[in-house]
Structure 1
Amino acid sequence: MAYDEELADRIRLLIKPGPELSERKMFGGLAFLIGGNMAVAASGQGGLLVRVDRTESDRLLANEFVEPMVMGGREMVGWLRVTPEAADDDTVLREWVDRGVGYARTLPPKKK
């Protein structure tokens, strides 16, 4: 399944452009990176992938529209999947994009 291009466009509108922002196709979707660190992605499986502080993962998973991100059968702590239904709501999308971007900005930039 290809990623939702409309969702990617909505994410673009929420992220303040700057030299640290880049986009890259990955995980079957379109990822938005801050300083080379993934913040959020329009998932190829639908919905949104969000990078969060590992210490907040369990608390955020209590939300009914949030699931752990699983790759290769392994749960990725600090990475969450927000369902397409939740990502359809502009307010909810903004909250998750802000959370992912905010966390990515706390990480040291990756060297090119």
Structure 2
Amino acid sequence: MSGYRKIIESAYGDAPDNFHVARSGDELHVDLTYPPRSDAENRGQVRYLVFDQESVRASDGIRISYDYDRDGYKIEQASTFSWEADDTVCDQDWQEVAFIQAWGRQRPEDGE
């Protein structure tokens, strides 16, 4: 499969569907458009992206958000994960496990 195919396009403004979703080959692209800076500023828009996978290999998913104060992406995982007889129970106490600086691979300007 090749090519770029839009699945959902953001409505922009104050609309709750503030995201684009597209597929390009074996990649799924998700872009949040103007995510809220904090939960207090949120008017029902998407602020977090939760990513997980489903297969025979268990995993603890991640939650990604943009940290405006530090100018980068905060990655969190639920702090507790356990199996029960009928399903998976995941404590929703998200804790930061990694931070990725925005423009972390930016090339230095000439002469710097």
TM-score normalised by L of structure 2: 0.29
Larger RCO (alpha carbons 8 Å, 6+ apart): 1
Which structure features the higher share of helix residues? 1
TM-score normalised by L of structure 1: 0.29
Structure number with bigger Rg: 2
